[in-house]
Structure 1
Amino acid sequence: MRWWIGIILICWGRIAWGAPQELDLSVQARQAVEQLLVLPAAETSPAPEAVAEMVRLVRSLPDDSAFALPKRGEISGAVSVFTVNAPFSRVVPYAYHPDVPSYATMPSSIRFQEWTTEAAKEGMRQLVSDLGTPRVVHGIEREVISPNLDTGGYYEYMQHRAVAVSSVSGDPVLISVACQEQPSSVGKRGLVVGEDRDWNYLFSNTVGLGGLLGWVKSYMYEGCSIAVFVPEGDRTRVASFKWLRAGWAGINMVKPEHILAGMRRFAVDFRAVLESPRLPLLAEAIALAKKVRALSSDRLQSLAQGALSAMQAQVRDQTFAALLESGKYRHSLSRDELVRLAFLEIWKCRLGRASHTADCSDAVLAACP
Structure 2
Amino acid sequence: MTALDLLQANLLSPPVLCFALGAFAVAVRSDLRVPEPVFAALSMYLMLSIGLRGGAELSHVSPQTVAGPIAGALLLCSIIPLWCYAGLRRFVGLSVPDAAALAAHYGSVSAVTFAAVTAMLDRQAVPYEGYAATLLAVMEVPAIIVAIGLARVAETASAGRIVATGGGATLLGGTGPVLQGGGQALLAEVLSSKSVLILIGGLAIGAMAGPASLTKVKPFFVDLFPGALCVFLLALGHMAASRAGEFRKAGLLLVGFALLMPLLNATLGLVIAHAAGLSLGGAIVLATLAASASYIAAPAAVQLALPEANPSLYLTCSLAITFPFNIAFGLPLYQAMAQALYG
TM-score band (shorter)?
under 0.3
Larger Rg: 1
Normalized against structure 2, the TM-score is what?
Answer: 0.25
Q: Relative to total residues, which structure has the larger strand share, 1 or 2?
A: 1
TM-score w.r.t. structure 1 length? Answer: 0.24
If asked which structure has higher relative contact order (CA below 8 Å, sep 6+), I would say 2
